[in-house]
Structures are given as structure tokens and as C-alpha cells.
Structure 1
Amino acid sequence: MADTPILNDEEAARDWLTQAFAPTVEQWARLERFAAMLVAENERQNLIAVSTIPTLWVRHIADSAQLLALDTDGDGLWVDLGSGPGLPGLVVAILSGRPMLLVESRKRRCEFLRDVAGELGLGHVEVAEAPLERVATRPAGTISARAFAPLDRLIDLSARFSTESTRWLLPKGRNAVKELALLPPTWQRMFHVEQSRTDATSQILVGRGAITPKKRGKA
């Protein structure tokens, strides 16, 4: 994706979604309704920066969907860590039939996630209202985290969900390469860097495989 054109306006974002996923009329309606619910709920709780609302389809919808585009051959449970307002999890769930586990510890955000999933008929979406440490282990086909924790902690906490075929999709902004360099060498070798489609300064860490958690109580 080194030469990937950057989506720099709402029309470009919608055009790319059409080309990449060919959404059905129902999927488009769900995306539109989710976007409207997100903006409305943002007046009650801080889900997204107000400054990003005019470019919501670039900054949040397409930004989330690009992770699915990097995992079109994936299957099995998709685990979205620190899902917050459902980004990227709800966008992925709308555009695919993948079973989706949204992990979020904040009660009001979980209520919003359940409201959206219920209204949009997303029966394949489950919300885990708990810190990740308290979520029961299950094998994940894909693990994503848009804004969850520093990279080493993120990977260590979620490692127990990974298998040899797990795909990791981790947007890390402009610090992706620096954070990757701080990982243990065995972890580093599992990942490569992809350019974000929605921000010329941002990158996504893409990996595959099982990771062994760090041993607790060791220096």
C-alpha cells in the first residue's frame, strides 16, 4: 500500500467503499444509520472528536473499513479491543458476516454499542462489558484495536486469544514503526507496516500468528 491514494474527502470515502465492498442497499442504510446514531450520541457522551464530524466518512467509516480490506480472506471471530463507539468493529460487522466481539469496559459506551447492534439487526455482534483481562479466552480469527493501549501492552494482553492463523490489524498512527521497534524480536518478525488510506501520516501494523504472553512476575 506504499502508493495507496489517500481518501481526502467524503465523496472519495464513499466511492472507495463502493469499489472495495460493493455494499448492498441494506448495508448502505445500516452505515448511514450508524453514522447518524454516532453523531447523535456524541452529544451525550464523548465518542469522537467534534472536529472530525464533518469528515466522519473518511475519519471513522472508511478508516475502520480499511482494516476489513486488509483481511478479506479472514474468517472466524473478530475481536475488537477497546471498541469505544464501535470503531472499527461495528463498521466491519455491517460490511461482513464475521462474528464480532466488541470489548469495551465503559458502561455507557457498551449501552450505545448494544443499541446500535439491536437497531441495525446485527445479531452476529456481541458486546463484552469488561476489561480485557476479565473477558473469557476464545480463539480469534482477527484482532483489531484502533485506540486501546501502547503496542507492547496491547499485544501482551490479547495474546491469549491468538492462534497460528490469527490476523492482527493494529492502526498505530505516525508512531507505528517506532512502537514496532520496541517489541521483542520474535514479535517484530510477525508484523509488517501498511499505509493508512485515510491519513498520509498514519500506518497500520498487520501481522499473523500466535503470540506467547509475557511471563508475569518476571523482571
Structure 2
Amino acid sequence: MSNVNESRLSGAARGRVADIGYAKLDLSRAERQGAGEVVYGEGKTAAQIAGIIDALVAAGQPRVLATRVDADKAGAVTASVTCGVDVTYHEAARILVAGGFPQPDGDGNVLVACAGTSDLPVAEEAALTAEFLGNRVKRLPDVGVAGLHRLLSHMDELNEAQVIVAVAGMEGALASVVGGLVSCPVIAVPTSVGYGASLGGVAALLSMLNSCASGVSVVNIDNGFGAGYQASLINHLSKRNGVDHR
């Protein structure tokens, strides 16, 4: 049974915390930020992840997302969760979803485009994160600049998107190309895919940071979760402002 204490902080920082010994869970995050606490699975044991999921659900969070969970650990977590919600593992993205996905309520579509098949795990992390946060997501796999016609054949989807996540390793050129074609925000995700001089994604990161295309912002290397979360914030701006443009 978790011990829930009122924090002694004031103003916007005030919140409830569930202290389960090895973790202090932020139970007021959805009220402050619009989405409940997410579990970063890497470095945590299966028992710890399952305990966090159980405590969050018991405290009223209807669904929980856990990222960076390998297949072996995911099986152990699924077997250990006792809160009664369905737990689904998405192996390509290394994501666990407890409680299912909500109905999408964003302003439009989040489009996740990735340069190559090797970038798919990061792209899928972004896509599933956005879906978990209530967005309609479309995917464009393998549309990198080595075959630019593959991307250009999807101009309708690019122009219809409310926000685009562009995932690429190697030299990271996809984000600049997409940024030069569309009017919506583009979130660039460098991946660690590439040969020696790619420096584990640093080359793509620097390329994206130095993009001459306006409207391109950049998250950290392999950070599909951060891109999906940011895309969701952009795609829910009208809800935050109390306006529905649909």
C-alpha cells in the first residue's frame, strides 16, 4: 500500500507524492502538465517497474507508459503487475503500455517520418508515445534523402500534418528537407545509426541543430519519447487555450 503525502511546496509546484520506498511518484503531474508520470525502464528492475505501475494505477492514473524496456524485462513486468489493467509490450519501440490507448483528441495528425528502416525503433517510440497521449499518428517509414522521390510522393500527408517528427541517423538531412517543404512545426530526432564518423548520432545532431530550414527544433539522440511528447503538446494547443478548431 503506498503512502501518499501532501507536499509542502506552494503554488504550481504543490502536489501529491506516493512514496513506495525506491521511488517517489508524482501523482499530480497530469494536473500540472496534462499527462501522468511516465516510467523510464532502463536501469530499473522488472519488480520496480511493476511496482510503479501498480502504485500509479492504484492512485488513479488510468494508464501508464514505460519506455526503454527490453523484451525479457517486459515479460517479467507483465507477469508481476497486479493492478488489473491490461499490459501490452511493443517490442520494436521497447515500450510497455498499461491500461491501453485513449481516444485521440488532438487538433490534427502527428506525422512520424523516418529516414531508414534502421531508424524505426526510435520512430516507433515517438509514434507510440504520441498515440498514448491522445493523438492520431501517421507513419512514413524509409523516406530518407538517398531516395528523395520516396518522401516527395507523400506530399499530401506532409501538408496535412499538424506537426511532423523527422527521425534520421547518418548525416540527419531528412529534417532539413522536411522543414523546407512544410508550414507546420518539425521536431528532428537524431539517431545513433551510422558508421564511425557519425559518432553515435552526434553528426546527425549537429546537422539538425545547424539546419537552415525554419521551424525545425531538435531533441536528444535517440529520444523518440521526447519528440512524441513535444509533438503531442503542439497538437493539443487549442485544448489548452480552450479553443476547438475542428
More strand by share: 2
Highest Rg: 1 or 2? 2
Give the TM bin, normalised by the shorter chain. 0.3 to 0.5
* TM-score in terms of structure 2 length: 0.38
